[in-house]
Structure 1
Amino acid sequence: MNITHLTPDPTGLVDWPTLSNDRKSVVTVGVFDGMHRGHQAVIGRVVELAKQFDAFSVVVLFDPRPGLVHKYAAEHHGSEPDANVRDSQALTNVDERLRMMRALGVDQVLVVRYTLAFAAKSYRFFLGQMVGKLGMRTLVLGQDAAMGKDRAGDVKAISTLSAATGVFELEIVDDRGPGHVWIPGNAAPHMPSEWGEPADPCASMNKAERRAWSKKQQAKLHRTWSSTNVRYLLSQGRIVAANEILGHRHAIEGTVVHGEERGRTIGFPTANLDEASVTGYLPVDGVYAGWLVDMGPADDGDEHAGAAAADRVASDDRARIADGSPWRWPAAISIGTKPTFSETTGLHERVVEAYAITSDWLELYGHRVRVEFAGFLRPQVKFDSADALVAELARNVEETKRLTAV
């Protein structure tokens, strides 16, 4: 898979590469945050059609998320976020999306830095560039796709343009999954109060009760297979439901730093992640079962090493991430403050810790690690003593072993 990083000029123009003088391409466009089943259906169809037509399969991937750029601009007098602004709402980083696109068999990924000037271009102009520069013969989109200035290029408008010009075909993929779901408009992260995987609060409601709940929550209708729904589920601790939509385990990545080392003193040494380095959406506070993956020493942060890093991510990292690799271990994962000790230490910062279930001593300081989530175990609670906490952690480890089939 060839990966090209492109930055629009100040006017929003992109210097698109010429892929071939005689070979056409099948293209899709978007953010693909989370790479859920809907995204996989769209990209899978791109690859399928490209093989059928002996064309390039091409993904135009926007980074950072448009939602982040526009929200940041609205809050900072029209300025745009730089590379140091962390997108806490992004489900996945670009590296993760690239890994999955390679696994799906994509030929070309064009990673375009999303800017306000670029966003101001009309969808007609953008699609003209796709045809003229990339040789686009077919555009593949999901059912609710929209692009260009003010998102005027929805499926209906693009279909009309395709029919009027005859220079490209439009194919729409059903990327909704099993219909739609109501999500509270005022949703905020909510830590479950009970032990075990949370249930759908609406599952036992009848139609009238569900209607009343939706009205009270100011709920809005969203596709079941959507990044918004995955984000909502993770914010409620509903890992299993989120993973079902994703079609893979939700994961975050970050750099291991020195913590209080209290876990070591009670027999549960943890890898502590620097929150500022974390990429991927952090589920709500709680204790989870999952896996810890050693991705190797962190790079030096050279922003000009993007293309080389992307190539490494798509090859070397896949071996580390693979099930059964020697770089991964089942892990009990804690997100949040440390209520049992915070009154004593005076520390109330939100932290991410992972206790790898292995008899080997792991030296991971300064390493980039991946934390994958399998299920919710329990809320963060204050225990009466360190002994009570140790006993509970032992139970969490046994439950983690069960959920990760060790």
Structure 2
Amino acid sequence: MNITTLTPDDNGDVDWPSADNDRRVVVTLGAFDGMHLGHQAVVRRVVELAHRHDVGSAVILFDPRPAFVHASGGSDTGSDTNNPIDTDALTGVDERLNRLEELGVEQVYVVHYTLAFASKSYIFFLGQLTGKLGMRTLVLGSDAAMGEGRKGDIKAIANLAAATGVFELDVVDDRGPGEVRIPRDWTPEAPDAPGEPADPLADASKAERRAWSKKHQAKATRAWSSSNVRYLLAHGRVREANAILGHCHAVTGEVVHGEERGRSIGFPTANLGDQVTGYLPVDGVYAGWLVDMGVADMGVAESESAGRNTTQDAPRWPAAISIGTKPTFSKTTGLHERVVEAYCITEDWLELYGHTVRVEFAGFLRPQVRFDGPDELTAELKRNVEETKRLTA
């Protein structure tokens, strides 16, 4: 897969590379945060049409997320106080690129999303894609919209395609099984009991659903959506989130030295540093996996040349994962700092310091609780390990 990174100028113009005049392409675009089943349906359609017509397949990938850029007034992502980190992003750009490659996409244009870029009209933007990239077909989800004021909705783009005749529009039903209701101003809330929490509306009558929605000022949201996945993870409903994603939700980070309290009671953990990529579920203990991606400063190309695929061939172990909150704030995000540590279930001694690891979440085990002493904690950790083995079998 070929990857081209593009940054708009101050006026929002992109210097698109000129495509091969002899080969047209099928294109889609978006942030694809989480790469859930709806996203996968759109991308698979791109690849399918490209193969059918013997043309290229291309994805325009926006990074950072448009929602984040608009909410922050145009601030970029970064590591200093002037560039806040997008803590609501489900996945980093590398994770999304890996998923796109697995789906068979030939070309990805990673476009740095800015407000100036967003201010361009959809007609101008689509003209660039047909004239520069050679777009023959545009594939979009059912409620997609683009351009200044999101005026380029499905109806408007369909009319433009019919009027010009230079490209076709192909619309994919990416909504999933209907809609769900999500409280308008929700905040992360840890379950108060062990086990994966159930959907509070699972067995509710229509009247009970209406009452719940009114009480929580809930809004209708597509079942297959990044917003729904984020909401589920923030309430410990990992298995429901994973069902929408079509894969386990994961975060990545570098293993650093911790306080080594786990080692003192026979449960040594891999502690992730402050720079964690991916959306952290609500505080609690989880079952999942830890995947060793190799030395942290090894790039993707070096990793592959060393004979390790970044997702499939890397060493992995079942793991009991703990997420907890420190009583301090991060200067970068303004949020409470989070601690992620994973106990790998293996007889081998693992030396992971300085390695980048991927922590995958399979299910919620229990909330964070305070124990009276090491014996009580050790007994609970043993139970967590057995439950992890069951969930990851």
TM-score class normalised by the smaller sequence? over 0.9
The answer for the alignment partner of 1:354 in structure 2 is 342
- Aligned position for 1:319: 309
1:350 Cα offset (Å): 2.8
Instruction: Kindly indicate whether the alpha-carbon contact (under 8 Å) linking 2:319 and 2:343 is maintained by their aligned counterparts in 1.
Output: yes
CA distance in structure 1 between the aligned counterparts of 2:300 and 2:355, rounded to whole angstroms: 18
Deviations 1:136-171 (A, max 9, x none): 010000011111111111111111111111111101
- Taking the TM superposition and a 5 Å limit, the aligned residue runs for 1:144-159 are 144-159=143-158
SS in structure 2 of the partner of residue 387 of structure 1: helix
CA distance in structure 2 between the aligned counterparts of 1:184 and 1:314, rounded to whole angstroms: 43
1:81 aligns with 2:81: no
Task: Give the Cα separation in 2 of the matches to 1:335 and 1:9.
Answer: 40
Displacement of 1:47? 0.3
In structure 2, how many angstroms separate the alpha carbons of the residues matched to 1:187 and 1:317?
44
Gap change, CA 1:195 and 1:224, over 3 Å in 2:
same
Task: Decide whether the 8 Å contact of 2:5 with 2:110 is kept in 1.
Answer: yes
Residue in 2 that maps onto 1:235: 234
Give the TM-score of the pair, scaled to structure 2.
Answer: 0.93
The aligned counterpart of 2:294 is: 296
Distance 1:376 1:317 in 2: 33
Aligned residue type for 2:311: I
Question: What is aligned with 1:160?
Answer: 159
**How far apart are residue 338 of structure 1 and its match?**
8.1
Greater share of residues in helix: 1
- Alignment check: 8 A CA contact 1:253 1:368 kept: yes
- SS of equivalent to 1:111: strand
Q: Which residue, 348, 353, 366 being the options, matches 1:365?
A: 353
Matching residue of 1:16: 16
Contact 1:32 1:61 in 2 (8 A): yes
CA distance in 1, matches of 2:351, 2:98: 26
Contact kept? 1:99, 1:313, Cα under 8 Å: no
Q: How does 1:172-251 map to 2 (within 5 A)?
A: 172-251=171-250
How far the C-alpha of 1:385 sits from its partner, in A, is 1.3
What 5-or-longer segments of structure 1 have no aligned partner? 74-78, 301-308, 340-347
User: Residue in 1 aligned with 2:331?
Assistant: none
2:355 paired with 1:378: no
**1:233/1:131 CA distance change after superposition, 3 Å:** same
Tell me how far apart the structure 1 counterparts of residues 96 and 346 of structure 2 sit (CA, whole Å). 29
Residue 318 and residue 129 in structure 1: after superposition, are their counterparts in 2 closer, same or farther (change >3 A)?
farther
Structure 1 ranges of 4+ moved more than 4 A? 309-318
Identify the residue that residue 103 of structure 2 maps to in structure 1.
104
Aligned-residue Cα RMSD (Å) equals: 1.8
CA separation in 2, counterparts of 1:183 and 1:382? Answer: 31
- 312 and 227 in structure 1: CA distance in 2 versus 1, 3 angstrom threshold: farther
What are the superposed Cα offsets for residues 300-326 of structure 1, whole Å, 9 maximum, x if unpaired?
A: 8xxxxxxxx46567887973532xx46
Look up the match of 2:324: 336
- For residues 306 and 209 of structure 2, the distance between their equivalents in structure 1, rounded to whole angstroms, comes to 47
- Gaps of at least 5 residues in structure 2 are 328-335
Match of 2:64 in 1: 64
Query: Quick check: 1:99–1:318 contact (8 Å CA) kept in 2?
Result: no
What is the DSSP-based 3-state SS (H/G/I as helix, E as strand, rest coil) of the residue aligned with 2:231?
helix
